[in-house]
Structure 1
Amino acid sequence: MSNQQVAKAADRPLDESRFDQLSYDVVAKSFKVISTIFFREIRTSGYHQIPADKPCIFIVAPHANQFVDPGMVMITSPVRFCPLMAASQFKRKIIGTAARLLHAIPVIRPQDLAAPGAGKTQPRDLISISKTIKVQVEEVISETQIRLASPLNDSDVEALNKEEGVKYKIIPHVDQHDLFDQVHDSLAQGRSIVIFPEGGSHDRLELLPLKVGFALMALGAMAKYPELDVKIVPVGLNYFHPHRFRSRAVVSYGAPISIDKKLVQDFKNGGEAKRDATSKLLQQGRDGLKSVTVNAPDYDVLLIIQAARRLYEPAHRKLRLEQVVELNRRFLIGWTQFKDDPRVIELARKIRAYNQTLKYFGIRDHQVEKTSTATLNAAKTLIVRLSQLMMVAAVGLPATILNSPIILLAIYISQIKQKEALANSSVKIAARDVLATWKILVALVAAPLLFGFYSLLATYYLHTRYSHLSVGNLILIGLALWIGQPILYFTVLRLTENGIDIYKSLGPVFLAVSNPSAAENLRAMRKKLSEDVTEFVNEAGPQALEDFDPKRYERQPSFDSSLTATSRADNSASGFGFLSGANWLDDKWLFQALHYDSESEDDNEVTNL
C-alpha cells in the first residue's frame, strides 16, 4: 500500500505512541494475572501461524464467557488488536475503562436501542414480540398498518392468537456505515481487530449461526484499499467448564484464511455477485472455526465422545490439554459420519453403561487403573492421604471462612446476572456464559475492600495493644497487611486446590480397600471396552479423516507438568517486567509434594455447560 493511501486511511492518524502501547499492555498484563488466579491452566496452540506483518481479523468462537473471552485472546495472541465491543458496554466502569485503553471500536447494537412499542416505526426496523418472534418492517402503510418483510409462520400466529394485548418492542434499524469505515481504516493502518461472529455470548455446545459482519469488513476493506491483504484468523476458545473457578482452557489458533482477489472483485461488482462472495467467505470462516472448536449436537453425545477418547488406547497416557481438544474434535468428526452405524450404536450403549458404573462407584475413568493397588498398600495410601487432607483443611478452612464474603457475594451477584441474561436471551441454555465475568468483576471490587477492612481491624488492634506505635508506623503496617493479603490468599488457594486434588484421589484407593473384587471387574470392563473402541477407531478412522494415524499421539510430546497457568512466554515488550507472563504466580513446585490427580476435574472435559 502506498503512503498516500495510508495517509487517507482514517480521520485520526495511527497513534503507535509509547503511551498507547503501555495502555494496551497494562490491560493485557492485568488480565493475565487475573486469568492466572481464575484459571488453573491456560494452553495455546497454533499461535505461530499468525502473520505478524499483515492486518488480521480474528474471528473468535464459541463466545462462551462474555467479557473474559476477549481477554483470553489478548493474553495469547502475539499481535496487538482493536476489539469490537458493544457501545453500551463502554458505560460500565471497569469494562468501559479497559475498552478505552484498548482503543476498542464501539458497535451500536440495535437490540440495545429497543424500546416498548409506541410511536412510529420505520422500514427495516424490527418488531420484537417475544424472545423468539421478531419481524422486520418492509413498509409503513398507515398509523395502524405495516407490511412485513416476510409472513409469520403458523406456529407464531397461533401463539399470538392465544394472547390478548400483546406487548412488543421496536428495535430500530442502525446504519453501520460509520462502523465499517472505521474498521476498514483501522485495517488499512495495519491494525488487527477481534470480532465474535456469533454475536452475543451463549452456553450452547455448538456454534451459533455466524453473522456476516466479518466477511463484509474484510471484503470491504480490500475493495476500498486494493493493495491491502487482510487475513482472517479463526480462534477457538475451548473451556473446561468456563464458569467454574480454577478450571482450564485452551486457545486454539487456526490457519489464516487468505481472501481470493476474485471474491473482492465480485464484492465490488455488487448485487448477486456481492452476496455470493460474502457467503463464500462466511462459509470459509465457519469451516475455519470448526477446525479449532469442539461442536457436539447435545450433551449426551459429548459424554460419549469424551469417554471414547479416553478409552482409545493411544490416548491412555496423559495428554496435553490442546491434544485433548484436538482428539475430541476428531472423534466428533468420526461420530458425524458413523453415528448410524450399528457398531457405533452398540459402542455408545456400552459406553453409557460404563459411565453409569463409574458414577455408581464415584470415580473417574482415569482412576480405574489406580484401583489395582494391593489392599494393604491401598490402606496405607488411604491413611497417608487422609492425614494430608486434614493438614490442608486445618489451613484452608480458616482462610476460606475469612474470604467467604467475597465468595458468597460473587456467587450471589453472578446468579442475579445469570437470571437477567437468561430472561433476555433466546439462545442461552442456562446463561452460564455470564457467570465467570461477574465472579471476576465482583472479586475485583470486593477483594480490595475486604482486605482493607481486615487491615484496618489489625491496625486498630495493634494501636490499642501497642500504644507506643506512631501513626506513621501504623499506616505502614496497615499497607503491608493490605498488600500481603492477596499473596497469602493465593498461597492458601493453591494449598486448598491441592487438598481438593487429594480428596478426589481418595475414590480409587477407597474402592481398592473396600471392594477389591468390584475394582477388578471394573478394570476388566474398561479393558474390554477400550479394545472395542480402539479396534473400531483404527478401522473406521481412515474413512473419516484423511490424515488419520493411529500412532499420531505416540510421536507427539505428552503432558508437560511444568507448564501451568499461561503456557507461553509473553510477546509484548511493555516494560512491566514484574507482570510479564505472570510467571511469578507459577508456584506448583511449592505444592508438588501434596499434588495428586490434577486432571480429576471431570477428567479435563471440554464443555460449555
Structure 2
Amino acid sequence: MNNFVYDLFLWTFSVLVDLFFREVHPRGSWKVPRKGPVIFVAAPHANQFVDSLILMRLVRIEARRRIVFLIAEKSMRRRFIGFAARLIGAIPVGRALDSTKAAPGRIYLPDPENEPLLVRGVGTNFEDKEFQVGGLLVLPNVNHAAANAEILEIVGPEEIRLKKPFKGAGLDLVTGKQLVVPDGEDREELERVWKEHGFQGSRFRIAPKVDQTHVYDSVFECLHDGGCIGIFPEGGSHDRTELLPLKPGVAIMALGALAADPNCGLKIVPCGMNYFHAHKFRSRAVVEFGTPVEPSRELVELYKKGERREAVGQLLDTVYNSLVSVTVTTPDYDTLMLIQAVRRLYNPKGKKLPLPMVIELNRRLVKGYARYKDDPRIVDLKKAVLRYNHRLLSLNIRDHQVDYAKLPILKVLFLFVYRLVKIVLLSVGVLPGLILFAPVFIAGKIISIKKSREALAASTVKITGSDVIATWKLLVSLALAPALYNFYTLLLAYWTYKNRVWGIVPEWVPLWAIFIFGYIFFPTITYAALRFGEIGMDIAKSLWPLLVSLSPAHGNQLVKLRERRATLAAQVTDLINELGPEMFPDFDSSRIIADPYHETQLLHKHDSYGRSRRDSELDGWSEPTTPTQPASTHIHFATETGSAQGHLPRNESFKNIGDIGLFSSRPSTPHHHRSRSRTSSGGFPIQGFSALDGREGFDEVSKKIRGAMRERGIRRRTSETERAWEVGSGGGE
C-alpha cells in the first residue's frame, strides 16, 4: 500500500460518496484501537463497493488508520474496479460460488432419514476430475436462496458423501417429499413431469475447492506489521434485512495471527453498516463501531492443538453476537417496516432524534418484538399498526404529515401557495443543472438497474439486487461526469471561437480562459442543481398532504387518521412501558425517549448540558452535542411534526441552503468560540452542580466532571485529527 495513493484515492471517492449520501454518522469511533493489528468486521454488506469506501474513510478520519480490504477475485477481474483495488492494496479472495458450473445428471438422497449425508446420482460421474473433495454441490435457487454442501468423500461415479446435510428448501429438492419449484421454472410443467414420471432428483452445479493459502499469508503479513484488515464476513453483498451466516475466514485469520504471535494484541472491531434506503440518492447512513473483541488465550491454545473447528466456531459465534449488537436485523422486510412504524408512534412528542439514536431505538424494539411477538397484545397491536400503515399508503402520505389535519383551512391554503412559490423559485436554480447533467442521471439509472438484474440472476442470496445499485450509480457518474464536462467546455470554447458567444464574450478574453471558466462553471451549476433540487423535492413531498387536507373527499379521512394515530401512539407507549422493564432492568433510568405522560421526568432526567443523560451516554459517535444552555432553562426539542406549526422537517426550507457540508462523515453542528469556557456558568449552573450532600452527591458530581472532561477530550482530539489528516500522512500502519 502506498500511503499517498491510498489517501488520494480515498479523497477522490469521498467527494462522490458525499454527493450520494446526505448524512453519514459515525458512532462509537473512540472504540477503534489507534495502534496494533485490527480486523474490522463489517455487516450487513448492503452496498457492494460503497460499504468499504465509507468504512475506509471514517476510520481514516476518526482513527487515522488505513484498512487493507479483502475483495472477491471475481471483482478484481473487472477493469476499473480491479485497478482501483490494487491501488489501495486490496487482497483478492477466490470464492467457490463464483466459479460454479452446471454438471450433468441429477442428484437425490436415497435415505434422508438414516443417511442424510449420502447423495446418489442419476447420469452422473462423480469420479470425474471436476469433482473434488472439499468442493461444493450447489442446488438451484428457491426463493432467491440456494443450498450448497461440501463434498467429504467420493464413493463412486454415482455416490458421494457430504460434510454437512442439506437443509430447508434444499432438502426438499433432493428428497422429493413435496413439490419445490426452483426460480425461473414453470410450476405447471414441473407438476406435469411429476405426475408422469414421479420424482427424478434435482439438477445441480459444482464449485471447485479454492486454495486460500496466499490470502492468509498476505493477511498475516499485514497483521504482523500492525496493520488493519477489513472484511465482510457474510461473503458478499446482499439486500436482506437479516445477517447471513458468517464465513469462518475472519476467525481463522484472527486465531492464526495470534497462534503465530500470542502477544501481538490483535483485536476484532465489529462495524454495523446501518442505512436508511441504502441504494437511493441522498440517503443516510450510520456506521456503528462496537466493543473490540479479543480472542481468549484458551481459544488460541485450542486452535494450536489442532481442534480448529471448535475454536473457529466459538470465535465466530462471538463475532456474530458482536455484529448483532451494532446492527438492526429483522427476519423480513415487513417486520422492519413494522418496527420503524412503532418507533415513530413511540415518539408522540415529536422529539427529533439523531440518527444513531434512531438505530439504537430500532434495535431495542427488534429485541422486544422477537421476545414478545406471540403475546396477544403484541399481535393485536401489530394488526392495528399495519392497518394504519395501509391507510397511510392509500392516501399517499407519510406518518409525520398526518399532523396537517389539525391546521386551519386558511393556514393550509397559505402553506400550499407559499411552498408552491418556493418550488417555482427553486426550479430556476435546478433546471440548468438538471438539463446539463440529465445524461448522467439517465445512464446511471438504466445501467444500475441492468447490473442489479444481472447480479440477482447470478446470486443465491439477493432478493431484488438493490445492493449493487448505489455502486453502479457512483461508477457511472465517475466515468460520465468528467466526459460530459469536457464536452460542454469544448462546445463553449468552439462557440467562443466562432462568434464569441453571439458577441457577448469580449475579444480580449483568450480561449484558454474559456476552458478554465468551463471547468468551474459547469460543475458549479450541477452542484447548485443538486442542492436546490434536494430542498425542492422535500417541499414537493409536503404538497400532497396539504391537498389532501383541502380536499372535501379526503380531509375528513385525514382528521380520522390523526385521531387513530393518537390512539395507536398511546397504546404503543403503554405497552412498551409495561413490557420494557421486564426485558431491560434499567428501562426507566436509561430511556431514549422520556415518558410523554410524565413531564416532570423529562425535566429531571436532563444533565447540565440540557440534554437527556441517556442521549449523552449513547452518542459516543465521536461528535458530542455542544452545550447550548444551562439545565435550568426551558428545554426545547426540534420536532419531526414541525410542519404543523408551519415549519418543514429536514431540508424543506431555505434556512440551510448555504450549508454545503461537502464532507458528510459527521453531522453538522453549530460553531462555538473556543474562548468560551466549558465550565463557566453558561455551561454549568454552578450552584446546582456543586451541591454535595453525602457520598451519593459526591459520586454524582464526580460522574459529571468525568463525563464533561471526557467529552471535551474527545472533541479536542477529533478536531486535532481532522486538522492533521493530510494526504499521505502517517498512521497507516
> What TM-score, normalized to structure 1?
0.85
Counterpart in the other structure of 1:531: 570
Aligned partner (choices 59, 66, 69) of residue 80 of structure 1: 66
Taking a change above 3 Å as real, the CA distance of residues 299 and 431 of structure 1, as seen in their structure-2 partners, is: same
Structure with more relative contact order (C-alpha pairs < 8 Å, separation 6 or more): 1
Which deviates more, 406-415 or 435-444?
Answer: 406-415
Aligned partner (choices 635, 642, 665) of residue 566 of structure 1: 665
2:9 maps to 1:27: yes
Counterpart in the other structure of 1:459: 493
1:166 Cα deviation after fit: 8.3
Counterpart in the other structure of 2:162: 149
Aligned partner (choices 4, 9, 24) of residue 42 of structure 1: 24
Counterpart in the other structure of 1:3: none
2:237 maps to 1:183: no
1:237 Cα deviation after fit: 0.6
Taking a change above 3 Å as real, the CA distance of residues 276 and 433 of structure 1, as seen in their structure-2 partners, is: same
1:404 Cα deviation after fit: 1.7
Percent sequence identity is 39
**Would you say the 8 A contact 1:309–1:315 is kept in 2?**
no
Look at both structures and tell me which one has the larger radius of gyration over its CA atoms: 2
Aligned partner (choices 41, 44, 68) of residue 50 of structure 2: 68
Counterpart in the other structure of 1:213: 249
1:145 Cα deviation after fit: 4.5
| 3-state secondary structure, aligned to 2:510 | helix
Counterpart in the other structure of 1:193: 229
Taking a change above 3 Å as real, the CA distance of residues 105 and 44 of structure 1, as seen in their structure-2 partners, is: same
CA distance in 2 between partners of 1:365 and 1:248 (Å)? 19
- 1:155-174 matched pairs, under 5 angstroms: 155-158=173-176, 169-174=205-210
Any idea what the Cα deviations from partners look like across 1:284-334, whole Å, max 9, x if unmatched? 111111111111112222122111111114773111111111111110000
| 3-state secondary structure, aligned to 1:262 | helix
| 3-state secondary structure, aligned to 1:76 | helix
Q: Which runs of 5+ in 2 are unaligned?
A: 105-127, 183-192, 595-611, 616-624, 626-636, 640-649, 651-655, 668-717, 729-733
Which deviates more, 308-317 or 58-67?
Answer: 308-317
**Would you say the 8 A contact 2:76–2:82 is kept in 1?**
yes
CA distance in 1 between partners of 2:512 and 2:282 (Å)? 34
Taking a change above 3 Å as real, the CA distance of residues 517 and 222 of structure 1, as seen in their structure-2 partners, is: same
CA distance in 1 between partners of 2:548 and 2:369 (Å)? 33
Counterpart in the other structure of 1:583: none
| 3-state secondary structure, aligned to 1:208 | coil
Aligned partner (choices 546, 557, 560) of residue 521 of structure 1: 560
Which deviates more, 415-424 or 329-338?
Answer: 415-424
Aligned partner (choices 524, 541, 544) of residue 507 of structure 1: 544
Which deviates more, 301-310 or 190-199?
Answer: 301-310
- 1:107-122 matched pairs, under 5 angstroms: 107-115=93-101, 117=103, 120-121=129-130, 122=132
Any idea what the Cα deviations from partners look like across 1:174-227, whole Å, max 9, x if unmatched? 121222122122112100111000001100010001111111111111011121
CA distance in 2 between partners of 1:199 and 1:184 (Å)? 19
CA distance in 1 between partners of 2:353 and 2:593 (Å)? 8
Counterpart in the other structure of 1:352: 386
2:466 maps to 1:432: yes
Aligned partner (choices 524, 542, 549) of residue 581 of structure 2: 542
CA distance in 2 between partners of 1:140 and 1:360 (Å)? 58
CA distance in 1 between partners of 2:411 and 2:201 (Å)? 73
1:63 Cα deviation after fit: 0.5
Counterpart in the other structure of 2:692: none
Which deviates more, 473-482 or 62-71?
Answer: 473-482
CA distance in 1 between partners of 2:202 and 2:332 (Å)? 34
CA distance in 1 between partners of 2:557 and 2:267 (Å)? 56
Which deviates more, 339-348 or 468-477?
Answer: 468-477
CA distance in 2 between partners of 1:370 and 1:288 (Å)? 42
**Would you say the 8 A contact 1:370–1:508 is kept in 2?**
yes
CA distance in 2 between partners of 1:354 and 1:507 (Å)? 18
**Would you say the 8 A contact 1:28–1:71 is kept in 2?**
yes
Counterpart in the other structure of 1:287: 321
2:202 maps to 1:103: no
2:341 maps to 1:307: yes
| 3-state secondary structure, aligned to 1:493 | helix
**Letter of the structure 1 residue corresponding to residue 35 of structure 2:** D
**Letter of the structure 1 residue corresponding to residue 453 of structure 2:** K
Aligned partner (choices 301, 304, 309) of residue 265 of structure 1: 301
Taking a change above 3 Å as real, the CA distance of residues 528 and 362 of structure 1, as seen in their structure-2 partners, is: same
2:614 maps to 1:575: no
**Letter of the structure 2 residue corresponding to residue 149 of structure 1:** L
Q: Whose helix proportion is higher, 1 or 2?
A: 1
1:133 Cα deviation after fit: 5.0
Aligned partner (choices 444, 448, 451) of residue 478 of structure 2: 444
**Would you say the 8 A contact 2:135–2:208 is kept in 1?**
yes
> What TM-score, normalized to structure 2?
0.71
CA distance in 1 between partners of 2:418 and 2:260 (Å)? 69
Q: Which runs of 5+ in 1 are unaligned?
A: 1-14, 578-609
Taking a change above 3 Å as real, the CA distance of residues 291 and 399 of structure 1, as seen in their structure-2 partners, is: same
Any idea what the Cα deviations from partners look like across 1:244-275, whole Å, max 9, x if unmatched? 1111111111111122111111111113xx32
| 3-state secondary structure, aligned to 1:75 | helix
1:339 Cα deviation after fit: 0.5
- CA RMSD in angstroms comes to 2.8
CA distance in 1 between partners of 2:453 and 2:74 (Å)? 20
1:96 Cα deviation after fit: 2.1
Taking a change above 3 Å as real, the CA distance of residues 116 and 342 of structure 1, as seen in their structure-2 partners, is: closer
CA distance in 2 between partners of 1:193 and 1:298 (Å)? 31
**Letter of the structure 1 residue corresponding to residue 471 of structure 2:** T
Counterpart in the other structure of 1:58: 40
Taking a change above 3 Å as real, the CA distance of residues 157 and 343 of structure 1, as seen in their structure-2 partners, is: closer
Counterpart in the other structure of 1:490: 527
CA distance in 1 between partners of 2:576 and 2:275 (Å)? 26
CA distance in 2 between partners of 1:522 and 1:313 (Å)? 17
Any idea what the Cα deviations from partners look like across 1:57-97, whole Å, max 9, x if unmatched? 11100001100010110111122211111223223333223
Counterpart in the other structure of 2:517: 480
CA distance in 2 between partners of 1:33 and 1:336 (Å)? 40
Any idea what the Cα deviations from partners look like across 1:23-56, whole Å, max 9, x if unmatched? 2211222222111100111111111111112321
Counterpart in the other structure of 1:234: 270
**Would you say the 8 A contact 2:492–2:514 is kept in 1?**
no
1:475 Cα deviation after fit: 3.3
| 3-state secondary structure, aligned to 1:285 | helix
CA distance in 2 between partners of 1:472 and 1:130 (Å)? 67
2:435 maps to 1:396: no
- 1:368-407 matched pairs, under 5 angstroms: 368-407=402-441
**Would you say the 8 A contact 1:372–1:512 is kept in 2?**
no
| 3-state secondary structure, aligned to 2:58 | coil
Which deviates more, 70-79 or 482-491?
Answer: 482-491
**Letter of the structure 2 residue corresponding to residue 414 of structure 1:** S
Counterpart in the other structure of 1:365: 399
2:358 maps to 1:318: no
| 3-state secondary structure, aligned to 1:302 | helix
Counterpart in the other structure of 2:259: 223
CA distance in 1 between partners of 2:546 and 2:100 (Å)? 58
Aligned partner (choices 139, 147, 152) of residue 138 of structure 1: 152
1:231 Cα deviation after fit: 0.9
Which deviates more, 249-258 or 179-188?
Answer: 179-188
CA distance in 2 between partners of 1:302 and 1:538 (Å)? 21
CA distance in 1 between partners of 2:93 and 2:506 (Å)? 56
**Would you say the 8 A contact 1:236–1:292 is kept in 2?**
yes
